[in-house]
Structure 1
Amino acid sequence: MKKNIFCLDSDVILLTGGAGLLGSQYTEVLLESGATVVVFDINAESLNTLENRFSNMYKNKIFTYKVDITKESDILNAKDEIFNKINKYPNVLINNAAIDPKFDNSSNINKSRLENFSIDQWNLEISVGLTGAMLCSKIFGIEMAKNNKGVIINVSSDLGVIAPDQRLYKKENLSDFEQDVKPVTYSVIKHGIIGLTKYIASYWADKGVRCNAFAPGGVFNNHSKDFLDKIEELIPMKRMANIDEYNATIIYLCSEASSYMNGAILNMDGGRTII
């Protein structure tokens, strides 16, 4: 019988932001595919919920750590703990952690707009979404390179390929300066992740480490009808993604099925970026 190239039985996969909306989906499908899954997240409560959900069914296959990936010391300490517990380092890294920007309507000043965007918020979001990905790639990529085998997956977005269409967020009866917008950090981070991907893909290619970017479109999560009507006009398939539609793509990128894929940006957005 031929080897199942989608099997992850021998893999230790580190997933950052693994307790979030999509992260928990990825955690489940990776466990189902046989992987040992190490989850980093900053939210201790969500990590506890995740571990309680899966630990009985996948005994000794899921390990959760509260880690601030903006702090190199936090990542290094967790790296040591992982080795002490599993006796090896992750051979697959999924850089999924990011701060999901939320609109704040509690003030007369719309802080999402570029005119009002604070340097503190800029630094915070960049440090998680971009610096954190670089630090995790550096720290765990070193070990992959030593072993001449590894995979790094960076989660970008359709908005890492195109600019946000701010008309999606526009509301009637508000002036231009009151309108919500997708913040500048989101575009910078998701475009930057693609740059990081290309850099790593060439940097460690001779060491057997592959690096690819995944650029998903938006996922339906109880959005308003007004928003759905607008965004569906921008997507040839006329809908947002369902919450589980990216799971198989994650398995593909982690597995030997994508063994000749390196430095690629895999768009999966219902066709939005082709228009």
Structure 2
Amino acid sequence: MASPSSRYDLTGRTALVTGAGGLLGRQHVAALAEAGARVVVTDVGLAQAETAVASLKQAEPSSDLMALEINVTSLDSVRTAHERLAGRGVTVDILVNNAAIDPKVTSAPGVMHSSRFEAFPVPQWQTEIAVGLTGPMLCAQVFGGEMARRGRGVVLNIASDLGVIAPDQRLYRQPNVSREEEQPVKPVTYSVIKHGLIGLTKYLATYWADHGVRVNAISPGGVFNNQDPAFVERLTRLIPMGRMAEVDEYRAAVQFLCSDASSYMTGQNLVMDGGRSVW
């Protein structure tokens, strides 16, 4: 029987992370590299991927990282990335669907706020759905499909606590805005996309269950990143642990879900939100 620590060992495996240039994307890359994996660091532009690699290499020079451009909304782009990796003899064992657009809530008093559902622009809906939901589907088609043909692999979808609960719009209210239709809100797209991503997780987990491919999701809570103190105070009141997450607190969970430590787990959504969704 393997020791508990060896089950987390990803030596000899290759992971691919989409949207790896972002705040949590870099943490996912670091977690996988720390466990011994070679990591393909991808973003919508090669420059973003290369910048992430350079930053991560500075922190951990021994990391085995490779920058690659992928536009997850384009099947041609995903297929081209797959072909480039195959041409280098690289086979993806772990896919982390992280790419997403997280619309920030800002206030612009005086006009009906475009973040509100009644005024939400259809092109913005389509763009965010394309990145956050269609993108994971396309990447799973190409990279997960290959895993299924080989009979082994792991897909991890990065969801959110807002894929489990609805946004609490009280967090975003501005005291100096008197008209309700001008109050900023968390847009409809993010929560809908993350709920859908958890649904995709369950679908693929059962679809590929007899092909050796495990598919799970993780739903992180908010990460502290020097947000407005008033917002942080309002949010932490909703969290039983009384604080937001530190940026590196999800690393061990990613290692667990992408390794043999979770070998009997598929179709699940691991919620790490400081207890927010319990209240």
TM-score (norm 2): 0.94
Please, which runs of 5 or more residues in structure 1 have no aligned partner? none
2: distance between equivalents of 1:239 and 1:181?
A: 22
2: distance between equivalents of 1:265 and 1:167?
A: 26
Matched AA of 1:132: G
Per-residue deviation at 1:46? 2.5
> Per the alignment, do residues 54 and 241 of structure 1 end up closer, same or farther by CA in structure 2, a change over 3 Å counting?
closer
8 Å CA contact 2:18–2:98 kept in 1: the answer is yes
Spell out the pairing of 1:181-220 with structure 2 (5 A cutoff): 181-220=185-224
The structure 2 residue matched to 1:152, chosen from 152, 155, 162, is 155
2: distance between equivalents of 1:204 and 1:217?
A: 28
Spell out the pairing of 1:100-139 with structure 2 (5 A cutoff): 100-105=102-107, 108-139=111-142
3-state DSSP class of the match of 1:226?
helix
8 Å CA contact 1:104–1:110 kept in 2: the answer is no
Q: What corresponds to 1:50 in structure 2?
A: 52
Matched AA of 2:49: L
3-state DSSP class of the match of 1:5?
helix
TM-score (norm 1): 0.95
8 Å CA contact 1:219–1:242 kept in 2: the answer is yes
8 Å CA contact 1:162–1:273 kept in 2: the answer is yes
Matched AA of 2:94: V
8 Å CA contact 2:100–2:132 kept in 1: the answer is yes
Provide Cα deviations, 1:91-120, integer angstroms capped at 9, x if missing partner. Answer: 111101001202354683421111111110
Matched AA of 1:209: V
Q: Does 1:228 align with 2:232?
A: yes
3-state DSSP class of the match of 2:81?
helix
The structure 2 residue matched to 1:16, chosen from 15, 18, 30, is 18
2: distance between equivalents of 1:233 and 1:179?
A: 21
Provide Cα deviations, 1:14-35, integer angstroms capped at 9, x if missing partner. Answer: 1011110111111122112110
Q: Does 1:140 align with 2:143?
A: yes
Provide Cα deviations, 1:171-195, integer angstroms capped at 9, x if missing partner. Answer: 1021211111110001110000010
8 Å CA contact 1:159–1:187 kept in 2: the answer is yes
More displaced, 221-230 or 147-156? 221-230
2: distance between equivalents of 1:95 and 1:270?
A: 23
Aligned length: 273
CA RMSD of aligned residues (A): 1.6
Per-residue deviation at 1:238? 0.5
1: distance between equivalents of 2:228 and 2:56?
A: 32
Matched AA of 1:160: G
Please, which runs of 5 or more residues in structure 2 have no aligned partner? none
3-state DSSP class of the match of 2:217?
strand
More displaced, 38-47 or 229-238? 38-47
2: distance between equivalents of 1:103 and 1:261?
A: 35
2: distance between equivalents of 1:51 and 1:273?
A: 34
3-state DSSP class of the match of 1:124?
helix
8 Å CA contact 2:41–2:53 kept in 1: the answer is no
Provide Cα deviations, 1:54-86, integer angstroms capped at 9, x if missing partner. Answer: 458236x2111121110000000000111112x
2: distance between equivalents of 1:104 and 1:168?
A: 12
3-state DSSP class of the match of 1:23?
helix
3-state DSSP class of the match of 1:110?
coil
Identity %: 48
Q: Does 1:71 align with 2:74?
A: yes
Per-residue deviation at 1:142? 1.2
Per-residue deviation at 1:202? 0.2
3-state DSSP class of the match of 1:14?
strand
8 Å CA contact 2:155–2:215 kept in 1: the answer is yes
Spell out the pairing of 1:2-13 with structure 2 (5 A cutoff): 2-3=2-3, 4-13=6-15
